[in-house]
Structure 1
Amino acid sequence: MNIVNKLTLRHLKQNKRRTLVTIIGVIISVAMVTAVATLGFSFMELMRKQSISTNGEWHVQYRNVTKSQLKAIEADDATKTLVISNDRGYAPLEGGQNENKPYWYIKEYNAAGFKQFPIELLEGRLPKTNYEVVISEEIAKNAKVTYKIGETLTLDVGERVTRDDKNSGQPLSQNERLRTEDDTLNEEIIHKKPMDYTIVGVIKRPTWEPTWSPGYTALSYVDESLIGAAEKATATVVLNKVDSSIYKHAEELAKENNIESISYNNSLLRYYGVTNSDGLRNTLLSLSVIVMTVIIIGSVSLIYNAFAISVSERARHLGMLSSVGATKRQKQNSVFFEGMIIGLISIPIGIICGIAGIGITFMFINSMIQDVLGITEKLTLVVTPLSLLTACVVSIMTIFISTYLPARKASKISAIDAIRQTTDVKLSGKAVKTSKFVRKFFGIEAEIGLKNLKRNKRRYQATVFSLVISIVLFLSVSSFTTNMRKSVELSQDGLNYDIQVYMGTEDAQKVDRLTKSISALPNITEYNVVRELSLSSWIDEKDMAKELQESVEKDSSILKNGKYPYYIQIHALNEQSLRTYAESVGVSYEQLTNLDRMSAIVNDTVTFEDENAKKIIETQALHSEIGQKLDLIYTDWDTEKETKLPPVEIVALTDKRPMGIRSALVGGLNIIVSEQVFDQLTNDAMSKDIQSRLNLNSSDPLATQQAIEEMKERNVYVQNVFQNRQNSEQMIMLMSIFTYGFIALITLISIANIFNTISTSISLRKREFAMLKSVGMTPNGFNKMINYESIFYGIKSLLYGLPISIVVMYLIYRSMMSSFSYGFALPWMSILYVIVAVFIIVSLAMLYSSSKVKKENIIDALKQENI
């Protein structure tokens, strides 16, 4: 070790307080980077486990494959596990009490399938031969016949088809509800084949069985060796390695073996960071770059300030080294050596602190995310070599960047300037000149405070820079959270209910009876009744959606007399629901029930997925004004006769939709009216096209669903979207917990950074303050000067921080536009919080630091040459 490095070590030991502050700053920065990396990997692991527990573990699925194709898939190097499954078909359920579920649904898996898919065995065992079966517990609850383990079933298994299409139509799947017409079954089972099964166990109702499906699931075994050459099955593959190449590889494998149908488990693959959507990939990549850039800038600013202050304090020491022959390179290496020593101490401690901090956080929030969010899996600490390497590389880069500029500055310090300490404070009349209005409106204290800031320009700029970074970090992360929430809301548009009950009947009395019965069930927290009718309307070209106007420019033949045919979905809400909804959009209930005006609320914002652009778009569906009237046309598709209905008057244009009403597409509108207006618009001839739906929110959706099914009403179909909605809300909530936790961490680091910079700056100005007091500045005047300095700091930081933040927020918004399309909006509440917080933080830091200076003796302070 050379003499300069030895002197640097000695200097670090002698200035323990400054060294400790620098080390703590670097530890905090490294801990933040480590925490973010660990958090990202842990969060992705949690969502992977949750997706597997819900939908099973698989990556690629090939449908309708033959035995030879199965062999090719199994022999593929990328295949780790091959799941073979087969939809054997449907059979009549004897003793079934639920008229909407009159069938057995037989699905077959090989041994791997029972492991890879979430199948919960309640009693007995799983099938081992194709003559054994496990039945769903729901069958025992909804059938008069008691089925026991060990009992043998003889079932006529075949394909479901509608009666009109039994000769040429495609078989109906488990995702398609029971086909009825006028309360009469309009489907049958064909190609029946008698099958004997022995019941060997009972399973919980599978998560993949839709609530509206017509068959109760029973699982049997498929033996690959018994599959005939002409038979077809579904091959579901778990891959050895999951990366972006899986899509190309799967397509090549399918092409080589003439496999026509491929699908991917995108809900799981996205948590590996793998997607076949270029837009989504670009979105994730650009967001990652922006967030990591923000983190690195924040870390650099924190560490840079520590080293800049260190060099400022060591100016005399470096000058003395220069006076005894130290070269520029030696002085520069002295700062780099200091950075290396601090890095060697701080990086390991910072990594440990970051991992420990995240681990402790997981311990506290695990119970919450399981109890409150209903997530079955636990957050586990995932520390990978990649996350540690990322933390180390980012930290080393950060320390190097942070020490580079101070090192260059140190190399240029001459012996005389350093000993006289003239480098930090350079005076000229122009440099400290202030406006006359400052003294006139704010007094001499404000002028002195402003001159102080200008005279100590480097320290002033360092503090402003810290504040600017804090503002940008906070608003960037806030914008990131807002945009992610918006994207999830758009992708799950309209899922604002737990259960939807479709009542396929024209009998108004039956609808009313069912509504009263279902809404009176326990656990119901909210409900509304919606009656719907499909209509159409001719909309002027100038009022059309922007996307339609672009289409019209290419082909004007789609217009008729300058108007475009919009499809209209008119919805009538029950009284209580309409009152609540009307109040939320600023309309009185009485307006909507006035039959003289025929008032309506129009949803003028629609969300749709553009297949060409491969993105989800939110746009304005109608450019209209309140008071404008819409002409409505009813078409009887049996006779193709059109009937013009009374026009409705628009009393509100809103993007808010009532519970259970999904967004229209471009070229369509949702219109909400009262039951009175709806009855005035319709007549008995239209009743066959009027649909009634009951939308419910429940504290226990599964119990509510079961209670409705136990009513055993014909033509009543239950759609339980609770799980999809829960997944969406879980994602939003988890994202909010982590991102706002990240905001809190950044805020604390920024506050520590600002306190450190301001307190060090004021500590170095003890002589200056003592001199002001010695010439007559009173304690009150001193306080005013400090307050004005705080205001100047705040104003200056906001003038730089807010525009930079808006640019970063817009970049985050633009990165989302690869997968989504919606209007850019500034988070005004977050901006307001930032403005208030900046002045509070600066004021507290200034008051804390100046309170220590006040206690100093004037004579002792004047004698001091450096701190």
Structure 2
Amino acid sequence: MNIVNKLTVRNLKHNKKRTLVTMFGTIISVAMIIAVATIGVSFMDMLQRTTMQSTGEWHVSYEDVYKEQIETIEKDELTEAVSLVKELGFAPLGEEGTDSNPYMYVREMDQEGFERFPVTLIDGRLPAAADEVVLQEEFVQLNEGRYEIGSTIQLEIGERYTEEEGYGELDLNSWIITDSNGEVAESVQIETERDYTVVGIIEQPNWVPMWGPVYSAIGYTDRDLLSEDEQVTAMIVASQINGSIYEKAETLEENIGNKSTFNTDLLMYHLVTGNEGFHTVIYGLLSIIITVIVIGSVALIFNAFAISVSERSRQLGMLSSVGATKKQKRNSVFFEGFLIGIISIPIGLLAGIAGIGITFSIINGILEESFGLPEALRLVVTPTSLLIATGVSALTIFISSYIPALRASRITAIDAIRQSNDIKLSKRKVKTSKLVRSLFGMEAEIGLKNLKRNKRRYQVTVFSLMISIVLFLTVSYFTANLTRSFEMTQDEMQYDVSVYSNFENSRFIQELLENDQIMDLVNDFSFENRVNADIAAAIEYERMADRFKNQIGSTPKNDPDGQFLEDGRYPYYVELITMKEEYFERYADQIGLNLDNYQDVLNPAIVVNQITYPDDIDGQYVETDVLKTNVGDSIDLIHREWGDSGVTEQTELATTEIIALTDQAPISVSFFSISSLVMIVPEASVEEIFSAHPDNYLSQKDGALYFTSDDPNEAATVIEEFDTRGQLSINNFHEMKQSDQQMVVVISIFTYGFITLITLISVANIFNTISTSIALRKREFAMLKSIGMTPKSFNKMIYFESIFYGLKSLLYGLPLGIGVMYLIYWRTQTMFSYSFSLPWIPIAIVIVAVFLIVGAAMMYSISKVKKENIIDGLKQENI
């Protein structure tokens, strides 16, 4: 070690406080970088495991493959493992089922399938032979004593079908189809028969929708059991999960002649998707936020090194006087950065990882208690994230020390003695406006001159404040947009439990609403009927949303596809929701509408006009108005009959008047489209709307109750006990809704935790910068006191400096912060479409916080300076 480096080490030891402050700032910076990387990796890991609980572990699947094709799939470079799944279909249960679950759905899987798909065994074992099966617990309990382990079950299996018009293929997601009289209008075409021995009892599999009208049975199959003409679905776990998976799957598709299907949800959480917009948004946002973090880290560490060089200016000047070269002085600062980094980076990595680990344990406890966490967060630290964090941290330290190192290399002996690099004494540079003295007094003028004389320290302080403002605003906006974007991608299911009846039995729901035991468990509800007839709203071209106009690409005058009506209006599909008068009034009150103002309106309608929906055409999630319309405008409704060649008959119904436009749909509505309208009307208007139509569409309404509850499971149980006649269809969506809520809560916890971390770092940075700046001005303050400045005048000077620091930092920080926020907004518009708005609450917080923090830091620092006597202050030297 050369003499200059030895002096650097000695200086670090001598100025322990400054060394510890610099190391602390570096440790915080490193911890923040590794924490962000670890959070991202761990969060994606949780999303992957949660998705596999719902879909199983597979990335690509090929349906209807034969035995000979399976070997080709297994040998392909794409494949790490193959699960074989055979979907046998639906078996009618007769008296062994229920009205809401009249079928058994049977699928068979091989051993790999049982390992890759979540099957929770309650009792017994999993199937290992072709004649063995496991049954769902609820079915076994329903038929108590009949299907215990070791018993046999005979199933006739086939596909569901209906002769009712308007329905396609019926699958697991299809409700029971009923006719206008409420009678079941579907049956099963039997294709095969199976006899099974029951070997186990399982929970309802997660991949079966809870509203599906089935119980589950899972049997066993493998390649050796398949005949040459039997078909199965091959579900592949990919050997490498990256962008090449699509090309490899396409090649395999050509080799075997079967079309591939991708597990898009699971691949998305591996950051692999064919959606270029998704990649653009994710990597663009990551680039912006990492850049902001690095700039904040550089500012934090740069201040420490800049102040260290300022304190060492006389020592570096002395080195110049004994022959030290520019390179040696510059390397002295780089060596200091190296020593700081070699100690701080490992500590920062450990601190960041440990901090995130502790945070995860706390979050898991909260989520487990509140949501019944299906998949806990676990700490995932990858070599890549460690290398990236270390590299970024080392680069940050280098950038932070580079400018101070250059400055150190230029310090001469004379400059160090005179401190001419820190203090500028030219008249022009310290000149102040006479207005300052007239408005704020002599103290304010002296304070402003002090700032101008110590321009470099003043600039460092303002820069530190400005970076803190930009950091806070950027992270606040980023986290708010992240949460908003995630919520836009979710189905907005607002209710926990739904209760359905056909029109004839809707009085039972009315009786349910009058049951005190049930209503005590209900927080909010919506009782409504939905008209099943095909209703459309005839909308003038001028009132259509611009986005929709661009998508259909035609006008009434240029309509080759015949999309418009003969009079040039466009037929919007209408989801017509009707409510009894008392419930319509209740809903109107919830959206802030006074119905007393609309007593004379013949057919009043509330239109849900502000919607969020997934636009498959543009590949975006969009927030928009459906129509360009106003309260008081009318909407003409028509009824359409459909045939094989399109609309065969069209009937004018009635004209409704819009009495409210809202973004608060009834809690039952979870799907929106820019080409359809959700309209809520009082039940009294329905007869008027359909008076011109010969058919009685009142009989085609389905009665439904949707409600939220603090204890949905208990509420659903009580309703089942209430429904002794089996007239209601009860569906508990709490667990599915809970999963989406859990994701929002996890994101919110992380994002607000991130904001808190950034805020604490910013406050620490401001305190460090200001307190050090004040400490370096001890001689200046002692000089002012020596010429008669009173404590009152001294405090007034400090108050003005605080205000000036705050105003100057806001002047630069707010525009720059808003610019970065708009950059984040611009980047998200590749996949999400909504209007840009300034986050006024964070901006207000920043404005207030800047003055509070600056004031507190100044007063804290001055309280320490005040203890110094004038003689000691005048003797102070920055060495």
TM-score range, shorter chain: over 0.9
Aligned residues: 862
Q: How far is 1:198 from its partner?
A: 1.0
What is the deviation of 1:531? 2.2
Which deviates more from structure 2 when the two are superposed, residues 373-382 or residues 830-839? 373-382
Residue in 1 that maps onto 2:548: 548
Query: Counterparts of 1:712 and 1:577 in 2: how far apart (Å)?
Result: 26
C-alpha distance in 1, partners of 2:727/2:71? 44
Task: Return closer, same or farther for 1:613/1:591 CA change in 2, 3 Å cut-off.
Answer: same
2:322 is aligned to 324
User: How many angstroms apart in 1 are the aligned matches of 2:581 and 2:71?
Assistant: 62
Match of 1:744 among 756, 759, 778: 756
SS of 1:659's equivalent?
coil
Distance in 2 between residues matched to 1:333 and 1:577, nearest whole Å: 78
Q: 1:153 to 1:507 in 2, by over 3 A?
A: closer
Provide Cα deviations, 1:409-430, integer angstroms capped at 9, x if missing partner.
1112222112211111112232
Residue type of the alignment partner of 1:399: I
- 8 Å contact from structure 2 (residues 82, 234) kept in 1: yes
Kindly indicate whether the alpha-carbon contact (under 8 Å) linking 1:478 and 1:830 is maintained by their aligned counterparts in 2.
yes
Give the superposition deviation at 1:52: 2.7
Q: CA deviation at 1:267?
A: 2.5
Match of 1:21 in 2: 21
Deviates more, 1:728-737 or 1:539-548: 539-548
CA distance in 1, matches of 2:226, 2:724: 39
Q: Distance in 2 between matches of 1:723 and 1:239?
A: 30
Conserved in 2, the CA contact under 8 Å of 1:136 and 1:216?
A: yes
Structure 1 stretch 469-478 or stretch 525-534: which is displaced more? 525-534
Q: Say whether 1:127 aligns with 2:139.
A: no
Q: Normalising by structure 1, what TM-score?
A: 0.94
Q: Is 1:621 aligned with 2:626? A: yes
CA deviations over 1:360-382 (Å, ceiling 9, x no partner): 22232221122123213332222
Cα offsets for 1:420-454 (capped at 9, x unmatched): 11111112232222233322222222222222222
The answer for the alignment partner of 1:671 in structure 2 is: 679
> C-alpha displacement at 1:150, in angstroms?
1.2
Counterpart of 1:792 in structure 2 is 804
Query: Structure 1's 176 and 458: CA in aligned 2 closer, same or farther, altered over 3 A?
Result: same
Counterpart in 2 of 1:776? 788
Query: Could you tell me which of 368, 377, 380 is aligned with 1:382?
Result: 380
Moved more, 238-247 or 118-127: 238-247
2: CA distance, partners of 1:236 / 1:750: 50
Query: Contact 1:129–1:223 (CA<8 Å) still a contact in 2?
Result: no
One-letter code aligned to 2:300: L
Change (3 A) 1:403 1:607: same
Query: Given the alignment of the two structures, is residue 586 of structure 1 paired with residue 595 of structure 2, yes or no?
Result: no
Aligned partner of 1:633 among 633, 638, 660: 638
Report the residue type matching 1:654 in the other structure.
T
Q: How does 1:432-511 map to 2 (within 5 A)?
A: 432-506=430-504, 508-510=506-508
Matched to 2:385, the amino acid is S
Say if 2:239 is the partner of 1:243. no
2:279 counterpart letter in structure 1: R
TM-aligned CA deviation for residue 523 of structure 1: 4.2
What amino acid is the match of 2:850?
Answer: V
Give the conservation status (yes or no) of the 8 Å contact 2:63–2:234: yes
Cα distance in 1, alignment partners of residues 665 and 589 from structure 2: 13
Per the TM alignment, residue 36 of structure 1 is displaced from its structure 2 partner at its CA by 1.6
Q: CA deviation at 1:403?
A: 0.7
SS of residue in 2 equivalent to 1:737: helix
2:204 counterpart residue number:
205
TM superposition shift of 1:459: 1.0
Larger deviation, residues 323-332 vs 267-276: 267-276
**CA shift in 2, pair 1:237/1:339, >3 Å:** same
2:651 matched residue in structure 1: 642
Contact 2:26-2:341 within 8 A present in 1 as well: yes
Equivalent position amino acid for 1:565 in 2: P
Distance of 1:73 and 1:719 partners within structure 2: 40
CA distance, structure 2, for counterparts of residue 794 and residue 674 of structure 1: 57
Q: 1:193 to 1:636 in 2, by over 3 A?
A: closer
CA distance in 2, matches of 1:195, 1:15: 84
Pick closer, same or farther for the CA change 1:230–1:518 going to 2, 3 Å.
Answer: farther
Q: Tell me, yes or no, if the aligned pair for 1:96 and 1:144 is still in contact at 8 Å.
A: no
CA distance in 1, matches of 2:174, 2:517: 26
Tell me the distance in 2 between the aligned counterparts of 1:192 and 1:264: 28
Q: Distance in 2 between matches of 1:817 and 1:743?
A: 23
Amino acid at match of 1:388: L
Contact between 1:493 and 1:607, CA under 8 Å: does it hold in 2? no
Q: Distance in 1 between matches of 2:553 and 2:230?
A: 52
Looking at structure 2, the residues matched to 495 and 305 of structure 1 have their Cα atoms a distance apart, in angstroms, of 50
Structure 1 CA distance for aligned equivalents of residues 343 and 540 of structure 2 = 71
| Residues 1:194 and 1:457: Cα distance change in structure 2 (over 3 Å) | same
Q: Is the 8 A contact 1:608 1:617 kept in 2?
A: yes
The 2-side partners of 1:31 and 1:729 are apart by 29
SS of 2:153's partner is strand
Aligned-pair distance for 1:500?
2.9
SS in 2 for 1:602: strand
Partner of 1:44: 44
Q: Does 1:733 align with 2:741?
A: no
**1:110 alignment partner AA:** D
1:455-499 CA distances to partner (integer Å, 9 max, x unpaired)?
Answer: 211111111111111111111111111111111221124311123
Query: What code does the residue aligned with 2:703 have?
Result: S
Counterpart CA distance in 2 for 1:637 and 1:512 is 34
Partner letter of residue 35 of structure 1? Answer: A
Q: CA deviation at 1:514?
A: 5.8
Segment drifting more, 330-339 vs 93-102: 93-102
Query: Quick one: which amino acid aligns to residue 328 of structure 1?
Result: K
Distance in 2 (alpha carbons) for counterparts of 1:667 and 1:92: 38
Cα 1:470–1:164 shift into 2, 3 Å: closer
Report the Cα distance in structure 2 between the residues aligned to 1:537 and 1:164, rounded to whole angstroms.
25
Distance 2:551 2:118 in 1: 46
1:841 aligns to 2:841 (yes or no): no
Match of 1:572 in 2: 578
Distance 1:494 1:362 in 2: 27
Q: Is the 8 A contact 2:78 2:249 kept in 1?
A: no
Amino acid at match of 2:188: I
Per-residue CA distance 1:794-833 (angstroms, 9 max, x = gap):
1111111111111111111122122211111211111111
Do the aligned partners of residues 80 and 549 (structure 1) sit closer, same or farther apart at CA in structure 2, a change above 3 Å counting? closer
Which residue does the alignment assign to 1:686?
A: 697
Partner of 1:173 in structure 2?
Answer: 171
Quick one: which of 830, 834, 844 aligns to 2:842? Answer: 830
Deviation per CA, 1:63-92: give whole Å up to 9, x if none.
Answer: 121112222112223322211111112222
Aligned CA distance change for structure 1 residues 216 and 188 (closer, same or farther; 3 Å)? same
- Do the aligned partners of 1:635 and 1:641 also contact (CA within 8 Å) in 2? yes
C-alpha displacement at 1:513, in angstroms? 4.1
**Are the aligned partners of 1:610 and 1:617 in contact in 2 as well (CA < 8 Å)?**
yes
Partner letter of residue 196 of structure 1?
D
Deviations 1:300-338 (A, max 9, x none): 010000001111111111111111111111111111111
Is there any run of 5+ residues in structure 1 with no aligned partner, and where?
none
Normalization by structure 2: what TM-score?
A: 0.93
Superposition map of 1:357-396 within 5 A:
357-396=355-394
Q: Percent same amino acid at aligned positions?
A: 48
* Native 8 Å contact 1:94 1:145 kept in 2: no
> 1:605 — aligned with what?
610
* Residues 107, 218 of structure 1: 8 Å contact kept: yes
Shift of 1:663: 4.5
Match of 1:336 in 2: 334
Are the equivalent residues in 1 in contact too, given 2:151–2:198 (CA < 8 A)?
Answer: yes
State how far apart, in whole Å, the 2-side matches of 1:573 and 1:777 are. Answer: 77
Q: How does 1:7-18 map to 2 (within 5 A)?
A: 7-18=7-18
Q: Distance in 2 between matches of 1:370 and 1:39?
A: 19
What is the aligned counterpart of 1:281 among 279, 282, 287?
279
Write the distance in 2 (CA, Å) between the matches of 1:709 and 1:158.
Answer: 30
SS in 2 for 1:272: coil
* 2:707 aligned residue: 696
TM-fit CA distance, 1:655: 2.1
* Distance verdict in 2 for CA 1:498–1:468, change over 3 Å: same
Letter in 1 for 2:631: I
TM superposition shift of 1:511 = 5.1
1:383 to partner: Cα distance: 2.0
Equivalent residues of 2:313, 2:878 under 8 A apart:
no
Q: Distance in 1 between matches of 2:66 and 2:514?
A: 52
More deviation, 830-839/73-82: 73-82
The residue correspondences of 1:754-765 to structure 2 (distance < 5 A) are 754-765=766-777
Matched, 1:660 2:668: yes
